[in-house]
Structure 1
Amino acid sequence: MEKSKVYFTNLRAVPGMNLLQKLEKLVKKAGIEQIDFQNKFTALKIHFGEPGNLAYLRPNYAKVIVDLIKKQGGKVFLTDCNTLYVGRRKNALEHLEAAYENGYNPFTTGCQILIADGLKGTDEAYVPVPVGEYVKEAKIGRAIMDADIFISLSHFKGHELTGFGGALKNIGMGSGSRAGKMEMHSDGKPRVNAKACIGCGSCVRICAHGAITITDKKASIDHSKCVGCGRCIGVCPVNAIVAAWDASHDAVNKKMAEYSWAVLNGRPHFHISLVIDVSPNCDCHAENDLPIIPDIGMFASFDPVALDMACADKANQAPVIAGSYLAEQIKGHGNVEQQDRFCSTHPDTNWRSCVDHAEKIGIGTKTYELIEI
């Protein structure tokens, strides 16, 4: 397979060329202007960050991409889907408030924000995945699938379940509706925390399969009837219904790759990753730890598989920051230079299972040519 081109720029800046200007130069060199944006709805997929976390990408970076797309005649919007876990981004109203709190709004970014899977995470499109080994029909936020063009802007960092979170995680997991995220995270069905349940019946009313009943003012779920759609999680006012979280790490990674295929297949797409503030955990945390490696730079490519590989390779060549969680993890475990930064941070994870599977199902290639500008 022919090598994919991945473009890279470091974070050095001089008078007359700041980082935002370098980002614009990078994506232009990488070919983003080859896409016909004229009058096309363009989804710019990003993670707005859980409030309390300060490692998420600043909205300034998004504005660079938004302005460029608008100059090309595109109808661009920033987007993400609601979370499966309990937090500030569980429904569209709180999600928007969290985004605004973190600086994302039409005034700072130059475009509107749409939560792709709607108010309660149930506005989804069903996308066939003929190449899927795990997923036969992906459940993707409808606004993302309604777009003509898909662009991802990712913060590359560690992740406690997938090893790292890069382009494929932003695309696949990030674009899944609540039911889609449940499918990726779980082999099982949701359950009820009886202590928290108040017996309000919201879950009973939302369930289309008659799987939930109220007994003695407590809800219970009949797993023989439950299809794992996750709608009950979204409507519970006290967060008493939780996902199973029981899929193996490799299974999550492979499902995530198959969801990425569903998002990207059949339309133009382009991908940008910033390897900065590389915290050990996801931006979904309401806190961020000390970065595990120094800032590296900005990357762009039409191939998200090659992009993730290039970011991972550069990260693995970087020194470990003293006093970081990674430094604590590898203390006394041999030659630091030979250790994978992300597997060492979270030893139970295997990030390669995602890029390997993504290459296998035809999203892109792990073989790349790195072009520095």
Structure 2
Amino acid sequence: MNSQVFFTDLRATDAQSLLQKIVHLIEKAGLKKVVKKRGLTAIKIHFGERGNTAFIRPLLVRPVVDAVKQAGGKPFLTDANTLYVGTRGNAVDHLTTAILNGFSPSVVDAPLIIADGIDGRDDVVVPLGLKLCHEAYVGSAIAKADTLISLAHFKLHEAAGFGGAIKNVGMGAASRRGKMAQHSEVAPEIYVKKCIGCGTCMEQCAHGAMSLVDRPEDAPRPFPEAKKVIHIDEKLCVGCAGCIHSCPQEALGINWKTDLPRFMERMVEYTVGALKGKEKRSLFVNFLTQISPACDCHSYADAPIVADIGILASRDPVAIDQASMDLVNAQPPLHSSCIKDSPYKDSDKVKAVYPHIDWQHQLDYAEEVGLGSKSYELIRL
């Protein structure tokens, strides 16, 4: 049986605003069935890195909060801390960033709670016993909530291919050690010829895995005076990839020899862990707006690759992500975006940006472990 995925476009009138359409969408998708009366409802969202502009607008979150209250729940907005050095690595910086990005309680009318505590260590160990993960480390605020509602900004991603409901829950709900477990085999590659030895990436590394060393005499160099080159200690590197986009010379990149399918599988298994005990009390909402070519974890957002499409809601995280990718791939590319010259720009938007990534594997494995179904019925409201 196909899973139901509900869709609303972004058109609005005096009679029906976009805020009203969001409420109608989530109610059709089963909001009242998942919210427990007087229960704690975790609204899992990405607050956006400081400087990023692609995350979901706070004003679009408020109607979800209001609808949860109408259904009898006690909503709070939540996300877990990051691995990399940025503006969301601990609860103080994370909450400050969230408020500066517009997620003030006076706007969203709900408290903000960092799921894994002040230093990313407040988690619950969830038994899994799956292929790669025997257990998952899930932020306590999410693990202990009665209901989980995922609000995901749908975009492309450098390692997962795309980020939707599965990534928002699997990676986003994990504590710092949970994120470390998922990233453990994804390490950056150094393009020695581009590295000028400036050390900018070292400042981004929270784990002391990067250092400057003397450049071998026979090593390529960007200019004769470049005597130093970056070195990565693989024993200390956790694979968070935070250094890659910090390099002004683009001398760091994803090492495509690492096993990205296994990274996706860990992320999927962590989604299973985050939903444990809430399988019947979860709802997933994907915002297909400002669909950027990279994660919202960066301190900027590149031009969107396609025009805004709409908003989806479903009880099935696999179905909603499959439907989201299908809708994105059906759109013509924006000629102002980074995919304008790719031979894949019309057929496969992920391949147009990341030709080495098999994004479908994320969904294939999610279906395999019983997280949901790739078969769906798109219901346009």
Q: Please confirm whether the aligned pair reaches a TM-score higher than 0.5, indicating the same fold.
A: yes
Contact 1:184 1:247 in 2 (8 A): no
Match of 2:179 in 1: 181
- The 5-angstrom pairing of residues 193-342 of structure 1 reads 193=209, 248-267=259-278, 268-328=281-341, 330=342, 333=343, 336-337=345-346, 339-342=347-350
Cα-to-partner distance string for 1:48-106 (whole Å, 9 max, x where unaligned): 00111111101112111111111122111100000111100010000000000000021
Aligned counterpart, 1:74 = 73
Equivalent pair of 2:139/2:174 in contact (CA under 8 Å): yes
> 1:3 Cα shift?
0.6
Overall identity of the aligned pairs, in % = 42
Q: What's the TM-score once normalised by structure 2's chain length?
A: 0.81
Matching residue of 1:364: 372
Distance 2:209 2:234 in 1: 14
Q: SS in structure 1 opposite 2:172?
A: helix
Backbone CA RMSD of aligned residues: 2.5
Q: CA separation in 2, counterparts of 1:94 and 1:179?
A: 18
> Does the Cα contact within 8 Å between 2:314 and 2:320 map onto a contact in 1?
yes
Conserved in 2, the CA contact under 8 Å of 1:117 and 1:141?
yes
Residue 371 (structure 1) shift: 0.3
Give CA-to-partner distance per residue, 1:295-337, whole Å, 9 cap, x none: 0001000001000000000001000000211113x0xx3x743
Q: Distance in 2 between matches of 1:365 and 1:72?
A: 27
The 3 A distance-change label for structure 1 pair 49 and 336 is closer
How far apart, CA to CA, are the structure 2 residues paired with 1:273 and 1:285?
20
Q: Distance in 1 between matches of 2:139 and 2:48?
A: 18
1:109 counterpart letter in structure 2: V
Q: 2:362 corresponds to which residue?
A: 354
How far 1:191 sits from its partner (Å)?
A: 5.6
Q: What is aligned with 1:13?
A: 12
Conserved 8 A contact 1:277-1:295: yes
**Quick one: which of 173, 192, 196 aligns to 2:208?**
192
Report SS of the residue matched to 2:272.
Answer: helix
Q: How does 1:38-53 map to 2 (within 5 A)?
A: 38-53=37-52
Tell whether 2:40 aligns with 1:32.
no
Take 1:326 and 1:307, find their aligned partners in 2: how far apart are those partners? 24
On the 8 A contact 2:121/2:176 being kept in 1, the answer is yes
Q: Is the 8 A contact 2:185 2:263 kept in 1?
A: no
* Structure 1 residue 265 displacement after superposition: 2.4
- What SS class does the counterpart of residue 117 from structure 2 fall into? coil
Q: 1:326 to 1:222 in 2, by over 3 A?
A: closer
Aligned mates of 1:141, 1:147 — CA distance in 2: 10
Question: What's the CA shift string for 1:200-256, capped at 9, x where partnerless?
Answer: xxxxxxxxxxxxxxxxxxxxx996xx9x8x9xxxxxxxxxxxxx9995221111111
Task: In structure 1, list runs of 5 or more residues that go unmatched.
Answer: 197-220, 231-243
Q: 1:102 to 1:270 in 2, by over 3 A?
A: same
Whether the aligned pair in 2 keeps the contact of 1:42 and 1:77 (CA below 8 Å) is: yes
Q: Which amino acid aligns with 2:72?
A: G
Q: Equivalents in 1 of 2:320, 2:368: separation in Å?
A: 16
Superposed displacement of residue 350, structure 1: 1.9
The answer to whether 1:343 aligns with 2:351 is yes
Q: Distance in 1 between matches of 2:53 and 2:374?
A: 31
Aligned 8 A contact 2:186 2:263 in 1: no
Note closer, same or farther for the CA distance 1:191–1:274 as it changes in structure 2 (3 Å cut): closer
On the 8 A contact 2:48/2:55 being kept in 1, the answer is: yes
User: Aligned pair count?
Assistant: 328
8 Å Cα contact 1:186-1:247 kept in structure 2 = no
Change (3 A) 1:188 1:103: closer
CA shift for structure 1 position 273: 0.5
**SS of residue in 1 equivalent to 2:333:** coil
Paired with 2:309 and 2:210, the residues of 1 have a C-alpha distance of: 47
Q: Which amino acid aligns with 1:294?
A: A
